[in-house]
Structure 1
Amino acid sequence: MVNSAAEYLDNAKIEVVDVPKDDINWSTVSLKDVINKGKRLEASVFDIEAKHARDVVKSSIYGYKSININNDLIECYTRPRFKIIWVKKSEYPIYQPTSMLDVYPTNDGYISRLTKTNIEALRVHKGQILITCSGTIGNVSYVSDTLDNKIFSHDLLRLRFKEDIDNGFFYTFLKTDFGRSILVSNTYGSVVDHIEANHINEVIMPTPPKILKQKIHDLIVKSYQNRDESNRLIDKATELLIDELELPTMEELYNEAFSYSKEINTFNIKLSELNGRLEASYHVPIVDVIEKYLKKNSTLIRLDNKKLTKDIILAGIFKRNYVQKGHGYPFIGGKEITQLNPVTDKYLSKLTHKSRYEKELRVEKNWILVTDRGTIGKVVIIPEHMSGYAVSQNVLKVVPSCNHGYLYCFLNTEYGKTLIQKETYGSVVNMIDNKSLGNVKIPIIHNDKKIQEINDMILIANNLRYEAYKQEQEAIDIMNDEVLGI
């Protein structure tokens, strides 16, 4: 028995993870700091990562400086708290801070003009740096055409440097591990739980020559210009598709669907149309109205038809075995898929999860992702730099047979999302699965040249996102290699 066990252990595959020395966080701590912390010696008490980050910046060959709000910045402010009065529709769409990370942000609702705050002062402006102040603090974005003049909630730090090149430079610095660590800690290395404007005075940053700052700033500006152009192409392709289908607005379709029932939405369903579903949300008339108009100028084909898709993948629930960065598959969920460069600290073990990764979790360029629970129906097309990521079981993976861009374009419209959400089921947690998503009908317009034009525009837009990613990564590499010297 003992010999058998020993023999088994000798032959067993054991995952050995070597921790690189460079990944060990270390720093010196003064005796005064130890006493102030209650004479405790645990590294976690002093946030060694933040102290080490400050040491790295102070060691830069170009020197460093503490930011001075009065001397270095044109503006640096948050807005006062206020109670939002939500309305169904208004001229004031509002975005939550998390939306600023999305490559194509969508508003989180509409606020009433009666809301007791200066709504115009909530708008962000081109060239500003945006930093999340609470929750997950320290997330950063740069305002380009996509976000310009959009209304954001109060809890977002807006800042702009007097020297324009410092904006792209500081943004890039905060995108590094060292810059973020410094931002979310105070001068003593203690992690803060909320950022105010005056906290920027405690941030130090390196001071390289202007030519190096300009190089980094220009890369960030070009990166965001490519994101803007990508979004414009998606809008143009969407507009072209809707024009070809001759679709009324969603508001007009809703008015038609519920024109006979203003106070209570009631409607009749034939027994033959139940499909085993008794939920009113499944049989809501808006879907019938949308499909009625789609049929006028297209042929409707189910998404699971092999002419359109090779597969729709629903991953199973599994226990995750995480390993360190560099030793596993980068793992993201539905919250991160809408970002240009999803940031994750989760890496699935290649030894434990290789089979599941290959069959259910891996995604490839131009595949389409659809969130299947929570906020159902968020649609994303995978850019090249996300190819090979592991995506959680909360996201359905659509593998197109052809016309990847065209399929994405329709599913990403309000009409497509409405058809997706119709398939929702569940009582406590709403969700969809691969079979229900396969029921969604895709309109194939009769003009093949227009299909190709729409498809090509989306694929070009997707490639622009890859270019934007590479430009931002180049800026970060210059910051790490040439400025910080790591």
Structure 2
Amino acid sequence: MIIAPVRARAAFADGRLDAKYHCSPGVLANDHMRALQLAGAEIRRVAGIGGLGSVGATSRTRRVYAAPGEDSLPYLRPYDIFDYMPQAADQLSKSGSTNLQELVPEVGTILQTCSGRNLGPLAYADAYISRFVVSDDMLRLQIADKTSRLYTLAFLSTPTGQALLTRSKTGNVIDHLSADDLSAVQVPFIDPLLTNETAEAMQEAIRTRERARLRLEELVREFASELPQISSTDPLKAGWPLRASSLGGRLDAAFHDPRIDRVRDDLKRAGGTHLGAVADTSMPNRYKRYYVDESHGRPIMSGRQLLQLKPVNLQYIAARALDFKAYELGAGTLVFGARGRAEERISLPALITEDRSSWLASHNVMRVRPKEGISPGWLYLCFATEQVQLQVKGSAFGSVVDVVDPANLNEIILPPVDEERGNEADRCWANFAAANALEAETVARLEQAILMKAVAA
């Protein structure tokens, strides 16, 4: 139980009597803002009169999904935006949908989640993100001055900024933030030197990540373009002939998709090889969950969190719950969620870099560890292609959820080795790690400066 004293004046000033509001970290964060203001810091609202910028309130937009070959735009759901390499959830019809262009964020827009269980995460629209239609369930914050924008991005990412941001959340079932809630958040400008240093560091992190995204996307496209292309003479809905003797215990249509056999044969002729010959695959056993706070355990990721730059709602698990060595990922390991729905995010890959080498992952995560002399970056490029994704999804089985099994995974055929592109893909992932480290360091330094100034005041 969380207990906190509240003065009657404060309780009635905001018109809120619910305990969740008054016991939130936002109350303490608001006290810090008052202390900083007394100490001479300049306090600016995020938006509104005298504010730093403007918040675009989103309204529900009619979404019409595009038919194959129709003129369309790629669509991102709110939490897709936090991935290393966001992938379009769907394609939206340009002619059937309304006001799609209004949902394409300009470069420099700060995108803020405004509803959901894990309310608070935000992202910055770079040249990669600005190609997508982003869900109308995200607020758009526009700040014209570049230094103020990047400083605000850092501040809203600090524990203090997050506490202020979520202090006014409402909702009986799902937490929700309005445009007014975001606009009312106060941003403290403590020192001009700190402001400039913070903005410069955030800019460097954003540029590093943007370059890595654009180059990695280009590498995947180049790599896939040189592979045998997937061809199908008839639409799958028309069916295909299959002998009963060839069923082999599998009755699901995806496993017997005729495109899979053609892709496998084409890759073999092109010099491809079985995954089992170049990597070791594994999935650990289930475990009892004993979650603890950060100082008493190791971070453990789910299949969805593997893909995220900053894992949302990351959990920490105690040593008594499992053997850390068995679940530790290790640098250079290719990972993907191996349980879920094959038609959705199952099998989308990520590469573990040095900064997450000691992190753990759940038993639902497939580990693909390259053998000696095999480039992890090349493995990533392979799994990022449609030719390999088709095989992986086709191998999944299960009556309730789809499961990719290590034994079946070992039999998929990979494209020929491309060491040069693989090494470059490795560098892209290393740049992701460098950008994450720089951003985390900048945010932590800003939070420390805020707390020291508030305490001193």
Q: State the match for 1:182 in structure 2.
A: 164
Q: Which amino acid aligns with 1:482?
A: A
Q: Judging changes above 3 Å, is the alpha-carbon distance between structure 1 residues 226 and 26 closer, same or farther for their aligned structure 2 residues?
A: farther
What's the CA shift string for 1:34-70, capped at 9, x where partnerless?
A: 5799999x96562241101212233335525251424
Q: State the match for 1:236 in structure 2.
A: 218
- Following the alignment from structure 1 to structure 2, what is the Cα–Cα distance between the partners of residues 204 and 28? 23
CA radius of gyration, larger in = 1
User: 2:194 matched to 1:212?
Assistant: yes
User: 2:261 matched to 1:283?
Assistant: no
User: 2:118 matched to 1:144?
Assistant: no
What's the CA shift string for 1:340-363, capped at 9, x where partnerless?
A: 22244421112x0352x211x211
Q: State the match for 1:476 in structure 2.
A: 443
Determine which of 292, 297, 305 is the counterpart of 2:265.
292
Q: State the match for 1:29 in structure 2.
A: 6
Matches within 5 A, 1:4-403: 28-33=5-10, 44=20, 46-60=22-36, 61=39, 63-67=41-45, 68-89=47-68, 90-135=71-116, 136-186=118-168, 193-245=175-227, 247-248=228-229, 253=230, 256-257=231-232, 259-260=233-234, 264-269=238-243, 271=245, 273-298=246-271, 300-305=272-277, 308-309=278-279, 311-350=280-319, 352-355=320-323, 357-359=324-326, 361-374=327-340, 375-401=345-371, 402-403=374-375
Q: State the match for 1:417 in structure 2.
A: 389
Scaled by the length of structure 2, the TM-score of the pair is 0.88
What's the CA shift string for 1:175-210, capped at 9, x where partnerless?
A: 11111111112399x999322222233212211233
Gaps of 5+ in 2: none
Q: Secondary structure at the match of 2:307?
A: coil
Q: Judging changes above 3 Å, is the alpha-carbon distance between structure 1 residues 236 and 112 closer, same or farther for their aligned structure 2 residues?
A: closer
What is the identity percentage for the equivalent residue pairs of Structure 1 and Structure 2? 22
- Following the alignment from structure 1 to structure 2, what is the Cα–Cα distance between the partners of residues 260 and 120? 34
RMSD: 2.8
What's the CA shift string for 1:327-379, capped at 9, x where partnerless?
A: 101111011111122244421112x0352x211x2111110002112231111
Q: Judging changes above 3 Å, is the alpha-carbon distance between structure 1 residues 96 and 39 closer, same or farther for their aligned structure 2 residues?
A: closer
Q: Judging changes above 3 Å, is the alpha-carbon distance between structure 1 residues 284 and 391 closer, same or farther for their aligned structure 2 residues?
A: same
- Following the alignment from structure 2 to structure 1, what is the Cα–Cα distance between the partners of residues 356 and 16? 46
Q: Which amino acid aligns with 1:358?
A: K
- Following the alignment from structure 2 to structure 1, what is the Cα–Cα distance between the partners of residues 110 and 235? 48
Shift of 1:421: 0.2
What's the CA shift string for 1:289-345, capped at 9, x where partnerless?
A: 2223323422x322122xx11x31212122201112111011110111111222444
Q: Judging changes above 3 Å, is the alpha-carbon distance between structure 1 residues 128 and 25 closer, same or farther for their aligned structure 2 residues?
A: farther
Q: Which amino acid aligns with 2:48?
A: I
Q: Judging changes above 3 Å, is the alpha-carbon distance between structure 1 residues 156 and 344 closer, same or farther for their aligned structure 2 residues?
A: closer
What's the CA shift string for 1:129-174, capped at 9, x where partnerless?
A: 1101111322100111111242112111101223221111111111
Q: Judging changes above 3 Å, is the alpha-carbon distance between structure 1 residues 92 and 427 closer, same or farther for their aligned structure 2 residues?
A: same
Shift of 1:91: 2.2
CA contact (8 A) 2:396 2:402 kept: yes
- Following the alignment from structure 1 to structure 2, what is the Cα–Cα distance between the partners of residues 335 and 183? 24
CA contact (8 A) 1:377 1:417 kept: yes
CA contact (8 A) 2:287 2:321 kept: no
Q: Judging changes above 3 Å, is the alpha-carbon distance between structure 1 residues 459 and 282 closer, same or farther for their aligned structure 2 residues?
A: same
CA contact (8 A) 1:219 1:474 kept: no
Determine which of 401, 407, 425 is the counterpart of 1:435.
407
